[in-house]
Amino acid sequence: MLLDLTAIRGVVMDIDGVLWRGSEVLPGAPEFIAFLRRRAIPFVLASNNSTRTIADYLTICANFNLAVDADQIVSSPLVTVDELRRSYPPGTPIYVLGAQSLADLLVSSGFVIDPSTAKALIVGLDTSLTYEKLTIALRCLLNGAEFIGTNADATLPIADGMAPGAGSMIAALERASGRTARLMGKPQPAMFQVALRRIGSLPAQSLMIGDRLDTDIDGAQQVGMRTALVLCGVATRADLLLPNTIQPDAVFEDLRDLLNRWSHQ
């Protein structure tokens, strides 16, 4: 293991596949959160999931006995809103292919849903995706709307296996339109930069814990963070053996395994 846990001054964690999977809390999650609080190590949860609100996360955390506050959650919808505000004034027409919660957040932030004049198309995970929605989104792109994706996760872990993620929907529109989406979530730097500001520690003294090599680990390494992969989500040990695969600083079975090693360093 190349990771000195005693040097860590702040922690960023992915959520799905790290703290819980579907409706099941993963081993060691409540104990690890409690450990960070006892040690006064600041932490945030950073998720690419574009279907949940901060209130949703707080409810789930409470149900799983995870002591997490609202300002300790960073999501791809929040990063998307922040980036849109930098580029467009209030009242700008947009179209959203994604969860209703994502559309509601964008509307409450001053944007107007109007596919006929949309200046930007925002694509997230849509579990009620239809051919009609894809067609409307494609026509927005063909009419010149900026193409923005909340995240590029091709899949997401759920209780009984894997399901298509927002990246699969983005890929369909990229193929149909010949356009490439500007991505907001991991592995893009925006989410990591927001998370680092929240925890207030330098990248080299901050640990990213994730279950994906291509988003969590790669993105964190690009901004200079230390990285820990947990094997209770998407990535497997076999993935680490593939040619040219991104390598984390350390690998753990789950947060219980990480907590055990950290406690004894």
Alpha helices (H) along the chain: 29-38, 54-63, 76-87, 100-108, 131-142, 166-177, 189-199, 218-222, 237-240, 255-263
Query: Residue 93: how many CA atoms within 13 Å on its side-chain side?
Result: 9
Q: How far apart are CA 151 and CA 212, in angstroms?
A: 13
d(CA 91, CA 70): 27
User: Which of 14, 126, 214, 254 is an active site residue?
Assistant: 14
Contact indicator for 171, 180 with CB cutoff of 8 Å: no
Q: Produce one character per residue of 229-250: b if its CB has 16 or more CB atoms within 10 Å, e if not.
A: bbbbbbbeeeeeeeeeebebbb
Active site residue 254: no
Which of 4, 16, 114, 257 is catalytic? The answer is 16
CA distance 240 to 147: 32
Strands across the sheet containing 93-97:
112-113, 93-97, 120-123, 146-149, 182-183
Q: Coil, strand or helix: which one is 105?
A: helix
Tokens 């819980």 locate to 20
Catalytic residues: 14, 16
